[in-house]
Structure 1
Amino acid sequence: MAPPTGPQVQFPSGAAYAEALQHTQLCFQHPELKGARPELTKLGLPRAISGAFASVFSLTSAASGQRYAVKCFTRHVADQERRYQAVSARLARLDSAELSQRWNLGFEYLPDAIRVGKGLFPVLKMEWIEGVTLSSWLEDNHTDRFAVDRLADRFEGLTRDLSVHEIAHGDLQHGNLLVASDDTFRLVDYDGMFVPELAGLGGTERGHRNYQSPMRGNDDFGSTLDRFSAWVIFLSLKAIAADPALWNRLHEPSGEFLLLAEDDFKNPAGSTGLRMLLAHPDRTVRGLADQVRHLAFQPLDLLPPLARAVPNQRPSTTASTSVPVPSSVAAGTGGLPGWMAGHVPARDVPTPAAAAAIAPGSFRTRTALDVMAAVLWPLALVMTVLMFVAGLTAQTAAAGVPLVLAAAMTVFARSRRAERSQSRAAMAVLTHQLGRIEDPQKAAAKLRKDRAKLDAAESDRSAAYPRAQGKVTAEYHAALTEAEKRKARKQRDTDKKIDGLSDELHKAVAKALADKQAAHVRDQLSRRLIVQSPPHGIGPTLAARLAAHGIRTAADFTGYRAVQHSPYNTTGAVLVLPGGRVANVHGIGEAKAIALDVWRKAVVASAVAKQPTALGRPERQSIEQGIGRRRAQLTDQRKAVETDAESARLLARKRLDEGQERLARENTLAGDRARQERQEFGRRAVVLQQNSALHGTLSTALETARLQQRGLSYPRYVRFLYVGR
């Protein structure tokens, strides 16, 4: 079965649906179903017909009075809505006039149609059919040989309808084949139906085990799904029609099969029922049983359709109607056994044997035209002799006229013979047939070439698959190695940083102490005003001038710089401010600048002498806490490195698994394609074998026709005119 494409919805159980259907006015929104009356059990509960995927309830609409079968799903089915819409559209396009019987039912897929608990779920609203299952019908009617044989014909017509329209039910069995009151079939349960619009999707079920080929797999889904089931059911119906006692001998009361079951197909040699059918006196029963036995272990797509072996019009009788058919025709019926020769429709072209048979090798029964030609020759000879006697021999041309006329009359009479037309027609038919068949030698050479090409491709694939697996594995190990290298590098860097935290602590403490001491000195300098304790030689006037330039405390300048006054060749001084600028204060010469500098240095020395020599406890704790946080961060980073490495390993493992799954999937698909191609080669080989035999038969028949045509030559015709053969 194909995997679902999305999350699977949890569907209610059959009991939950039955509980909800006690209140159809509340659980349904659809106007035809809202308030509908369900069929009830003796306990007053809605009656359910439960299956593997759904429960079906009978509801009578309160709005229209119409009775419906409502299917409530209990299990998830992939692409459920798409499948039902495709099936519904396909069945709606069928022309009932072209069908053998009205077997298809109308239905409507209703999403979110029924409320169960807090959820909304889809239902399938189907036309209600009054009928009984095939097994129930046989239980009541198996003694009526004519009715059973007629039902077999109608079943074959149903399978023919499906095959013509490329539809497969997917689960042909007694429970899904209802027999209506007019003894025609109604096909129910379209859950696993295949229509061409669903090509490419997977199957949703494997069908009833007692009707399916042992070769059917979960993923089989196509137009050939029903072929084995059709042969099994047709065999059962034909066998019961031929011998009603088989029903009681091989069918079990309430058994989930007709005459044969799963074990009969899996182990034909040990099957009592199959042996009984193979030894049955009726030729048709024996042949059908032999066919089912042979089909049980053939691929589904190689099974012949039932319609291929059953003529369009077959008399409704239990007797076997055997009409001899040439072996070349039987060989072209898709590998059917020889017993089917009397049931195989004639080919669309005449057979070689038939064509050769209608190619005569001699003339028969003279006509009036032949008599005239026979009489004309003696007359022509007599006239020629008379003309010679009369002396007309000099006129040679005139003397030969009677003989020429006789010869021309003979040619004309020969050309009008039916044997000549039949011979030409037979040779034309044989030549046409021979031209339609591919040259067996060329076809065999092409088949060998294609097989060799496939074998080479398969050999390359077999060698490439382990190489691709090795590449994916090597990439996985390379990713693991890189992850470990990256992990070791990051851990080494982190450990180095952790080891350096002690030095960072010492540096941070020293820097904090230096900053604290510098701040103390700056504070002391900013507190010593020049005007309050002026240096030697600095009076109030100079102090005011210094203040005007922003120099009020010892902190407002850092020293002095001597300058030369060129006009007078004298030395002056400027004070250096904290930002590097200089201030030229009137009245401050070199001597007073030196005095200011000495005064400032004395203030600095006094401040340095009183500066703190260690950090306070809170200050040191703050620094130690910062280093502790840094240590914790680095420790977390080291742990994260291991986590990242594990994530990298998991990602590498995921890529390895995905790569291996992709390679396995691609290899499986390639293997499936190769098997399909080999199956196609098998089919081509069978066709080649048939065509080779037919080509030889046609060639022999054509050569025979040519030899026979020599018996219709001109001399043979002249002989026929007088001898009669």
Structure 2
Amino acid sequence: MAKNYPTIGEYNQLMQKKGGSAFKSLNGINLIPSKTSPIKVYLFGSGAFAAVFKGSLNGRTYAIRCFLSAEDETINRYKAICSYLKNIHSSWKTDCEFIENEISLNGNAYPILKMEWMNGLLINQFVSNHLSENKVLAELQAKLVSVSEDLERNKIGHGDIQCGNIIISGTSDDFQVKLIDYDGMYVPDLAYKKSIEKGRSEFQHPKRTLNNFSPEMDRFSFWVMITALEALKHDKTLWREVMQGGFNTLDNFLFTIQDFLNPNQSALFNRLYNLNSTSLNFYLETLKWLCNSEYSVIPPPALYGNSSNITKSIPSEHQKYVPNSQSIDRTVSASKYKIITTNGTASVLTSTFQKLGSTPLELDKQTYEGKLILVSNGKETKRITLNSHQNLIEIKFD
């Protein structure tokens, strides 16, 4: 059920009139105006659901989000998210607290969301400032992978990893990746719910739906970012704005949804392949394969050279299999599994994307019984659980 909330103007007028005394538990907070001339204005920004104000209390600076509209479901989500994050001690986290009945207007009390005010640069601004420093770009890649691992370790999904929600604090020699905007976050108390958003398309798998709501939902976004950073190590002109011949829209990390939907026709993918870099090709092969695969098979992000769980030769749609013109040998010993494909060769991978070989392939039955394997020709991926009742596994692709 929706509740009627004050307008931006009403909140701002209250701040102008009462200052810090407008709040209950935060009574005395020193409100910081966004501008002082010709009159003081306290609003720092607003979105569809909240107006943002800024204040300092006990030596710390906070962002105060005052709601403009919210369903009961939205309020309950905020409560669950803030409650869960209280016990999480991670470098990417910004402290947040949901406070009920904190501000009164027109005879009614309304909640606020108090969050740590983050100083720093949006990640795309940080990249612009350090574009020529490959060491910094590599460190940023590593930190993004670390954040991804930490989110999943703590059973958290952000839901909208993109330029506007990542702030880099500190200096190029010592910086931290901070995540902001927890509106669409997954925490265990929200299990069995749906996502409230699908995130910016420039960072999302084209098959992501609102049902994809879990600690794994940010994996594709991180793959996009570390791939783009690898590309920028080799060609700085990619970061030029689109009107200047580059691929930077100011809201993306080189890629757009069209690249994900049609990687074979993507001018960006083709240009990156022409750079002929082994390390970059690892990321490109992975990203292109993911674009052509189901959302459910996206592996955790990993850095080139430190990716024990991910093959360096993940098949992708641009790789054409060579049809097998010879007759297929279907003989197999009782102690083996034999995987064959009837319309071309395919790669066989473990459930953690370690490449086992190409079809036709024999696997030891004792070692792989009950294990899940993936068989992919670059366009399709089949998931097969090996069991003792079969020795010959014959795969047909569309």
- Of the three residues 216, 225, 231, the one matched with 1:239 is 231
- Of the three residues 73, 76, 92, the one matched with 1:79 is 73
Equivalent residue number for residue 437 of structure 1: 368
User: SS of 1:304's equivalent?
Assistant: coil
Aligned residues: 335
Equivalent residue number for residue 306 of structure 2: 311
Equivalent residue number for residue 155 of structure 2: 166
- Of the three residues 249, 254, 259, the one matched with 1:259 is 254
Opposite residue 36 of structure 1, the aligned amino acid is: N
User: SS of 1:183's equivalent?
Assistant: strand
User: SS of 2:125's equivalent?
Assistant: helix
Following superposition, the deviation at residue 147 of structure 1 comes to 0.6
Which has the larger share of strand? 2
Equivalent residue number for residue 34 of structure 2: 40
Equivalent residue number for residue 88 of structure 1: 82
Contact 1:214 1:297 in 2 (8 A): no
Deviations 1:340-384 (A, max 9, x none): xxxxxxxxxxxxx9xxxxxxxxxxxxxxxxxxxxxxxxxxxxxxx
User: SS of 2:175's equivalent?
Assistant: coil
Seen in structure 2, the aligned counterparts of structure 1 residues 143 and 37 have a Cα distance that, compared at 3 Å, is: same
Following superposition, the deviation at residue 436 of structure 1 comes to 4.2
Following superposition, the deviation at residue 240 of structure 1 comes to 1.4
* 1:335-484 equivalences in 2 (<5 Å): 335=353, 434-438=365-369
- Counterparts of 1:51 and 1:282 in 2: how far apart (Å)? 42
Equivalent residue number for residue 131 of structure 2: 142
- Counterparts of 1:240 and 1:93 in 2: how far apart (Å)? 37
- Counterparts of 2:19 and 2:292 in 1: how far apart (Å)? 49
Equivalent residue number for residue 64 of structure 2: 70
Equivalent residue number for residue 214 of structure 2: 222
Seen in structure 2, the aligned counterparts of structure 1 residues 337 and 275 have a Cα distance that, compared at 3 Å, is: farther
Segments of structure 1 that go 5 or more residues without pairing to the other structure are: 1-6, 97-101, 314-321, 324-328, 339-352, 354-429, 445-681, 696-725
- Counterparts of 2:386 and 2:304 in 1: how far apart (Å)? 21
Equivalent residue number for residue 195 of structure 2: 203
- Of the three residues 94, 97, 100, the one matched with 1:108 is 97
Following superposition, the deviation at residue 272 of structure 1 comes to 2.0
- Of the three residues 267, 290, 299, the one matched with 1:295 is 290
Contact 1:27 1:116 in 2 (8 A): no
Following superposition, the deviation at residue 257 of structure 1 comes to 0.8
Deviations 1:227-272 (A, max 9, x none): 111111111122213333321253436x211211223223334432
Following superposition, the deviation at residue 190 of structure 1 comes to 1.0
User: SS of 2:111's equivalent?
Assistant: strand
TM-score (norm 2): 0.73
- Counterparts of 2:177 and 2:122 in 1: how far apart (Å)? 9
Equivalent residue number for residue 56 of structure 1: 52
* 1:502-581 equivalences in 2 (<5 Å): none
Which has the larger share of helix? 1
- Of the three residues 22, 28, 33, the one matched with 2:23 is 28
User: SS of 1:184's equivalent?
Assistant: strand
- Of the three residues 209, 212, 218, the one matched with 2:204 is 212
Contact 1:20 1:115 in 2 (8 A): no
Contact 1:177 1:186 in 2 (8 A): yes
Seen in structure 2, the aligned counterparts of structure 1 residues 251 and 115 have a Cα distance that, compared at 3 Å, is: farther
- Counterparts of 1:151 and 1:17 in 2: how far apart (Å)? 38
Opposite residue 31 of structure 2, the aligned amino acid is: R
Contact 1:268 1:293 in 2 (8 A): yes
Deviations 1:602-642 (A, max 9, x none): xxxxxxxxxxxxxxxxxxxxxxxxxxxxxxxxxxxxxxxxx
The RMSD of aligned alpha carbons is: 3.5
Following superposition, the deviation at residue 58 of structure 1 comes to 1.7
Opposite residue 145 of structure 1, the aligned amino acid is: N
- Of the three residues 142, 147, 165, the one matched with 1:153 is 142
Opposite residue 93 of structure 2, the aligned amino acid is: N
Following superposition, the deviation at residue 277 of structure 1 comes to 2.0
Equivalent residue number for residue 182 of structure 2: 190
Opposite residue 140 of structure 2, the aligned amino acid is: L
User: SS of 2:210's equivalent?
Assistant: coil
Contact 2:283 2:304 in 1 (8 A): no
Following superposition, the deviation at residue 303 of structure 1 comes to 1.4
**Once the two structures are aligned, what percentage of the paired residues are identical?**
26
Deviations 1:124-147 (A, max 9, x none): 111122211101101111111111
